[in-house]
Amino acid sequence: MDSKFSLNRTRRKRIGRISTDLERKPLRPDYSIIHDWIKNDSSVLDLGCHEGELLSLIVKKKNARAQGIEIDEKAIYKCVELGLSVSHQDIDNGLSEYGDESFDYVILNQSIQQVKKPDVVLKESLRVGKEVVVGFPNFAHYSSRFQIFFRGKTPVTSSLPYEWYETPNLHFLSISDFRDYCRKQNIRIRRMAFFSNDGMIVMTNIRANLLAQNGLFLISK
């Protein structure tokens, strides 16, 4: 079933709409791609799992054994309602208990820019998981560049929707930054996907840093 929705087949306009048969409402583009990447019957740890939407999708459709870590108490109630196992914890501290490679996948989707020590969390994730999914808003998207360059202001965009004084994002990184990081740390990039918030896929790797609002990577040691 997973191959049917793989990236090759989704070289169309909006990935969000392609997977509508999975759920009644269109899937978030990142959820759709991550869902396609995860193999059946795998074990998954989602760091910053929010209300468990992605995890519960993976549990239902991929028969995954799943665990979440989430800092927001209200989101915990929602996760438990969905039947998920979730720890009410800080990602910065919640990983040391897990043994090496205790999960097939560790997911860090839209959370790496919010942790205190991204480097430590990434390394811990690569220790705990055989593969790690990392998704983040691309700070070098042209709309951000435009706002900095012409308006001289900290960018507020649809993927970075916060004013400087209220943002939960502690770190700002671009797709190029992340690829550099992986190269320097000898981290293997297994898959990549670049897309806008409405699910438009950016086909070219070269200009992704300029054209994509979001980057999604599957990495391993």
Stretch that binds another protein, among 2-10, 33-41, 68-76, 209-217 (CB under 8 A): 68-76
Q: Is 80 in the site for another protein (CB under 8 A)?
A: yes
Specify whether the CB–CB gap between 177 and 106 falls below 8 A: no
Whole-angstrom distance, CA of residue 170 vs CA of residue 186:
25
Which one of 1, 3, 8, 73 is in contact with another protein (CB under 8 A)?
73
Which one of 59, 76, 106, 122 is in contact with another protein (CB under 8 A)?
76
Q: Which is nearer to another protein, 167 or 176 (CB)?
A: 167
Stretch that binds another protein, among 23-31, 80-88, 143-151, 179-187 (CB under 8 A): 80-88
List 109's β-bridge partners, or say none: 135
Q: Which is nearer to another protein, 101 or 177 (CB)?
A: 101
Q: Is 84 in the site for another protein (CB under 8 A)?
A: yes
List 69's β-bridge partners, or say none: 47, 87
Q: List b or e across 108-142, with b for residues whose CB sees 16 or more CB atoms inside 10 angstroms.
A: bbbbbbbbeebeebbbbbbbbbbbbbbbbbbbbbb
Identify the three-state secondary structure at position 173.
Answer: coil
Which residues have a Cβ under 8 Å from the Cβ of 26 and sit 6 or more positions away?
A: 14, 16, 17, 19, 20, 199
Q: Which 90-149 residues touch another protein, going by CB under 8 A?
A: 97-99, 102
Stretch that binds another protein, among 27-35, 85-93, 131-139, 189-197 (CB under 8 A): 85-93
Whole-angstrom distance, CA of residue 147 vs CA of residue 215:
20
**How many residues in the shown chain lie near another protein by CB under 8 A?**
23
Stretch that binds another protein, among 3-11, 72-80, 143-151, 160-168 (CB under 8 A): 72-80
Tokens 């012409």 found at: 150
List 88's β-bridge partners, or say none: 70
List 193's β-bridge partners, or say none: 216
Q: Which DSSP helix (H) or strand (E) runs through 45? A: strand 43-47
Q: C-beta of 76: minimal distance to another protein in Å?
A: 5
Interface pattern 27-66 for another protein (x via CB under 8 A): ------------------------x---------------
Q: Is 88 in the site for another protein (CB under 8 A)?
A: yes
Q: Is 75 in the site for another protein (CB under 8 A)?
A: yes
Report the interface residues with another protein, using CB under 8 A. Answer: 51, 67, 72-81, 83-89, 97-99, 102
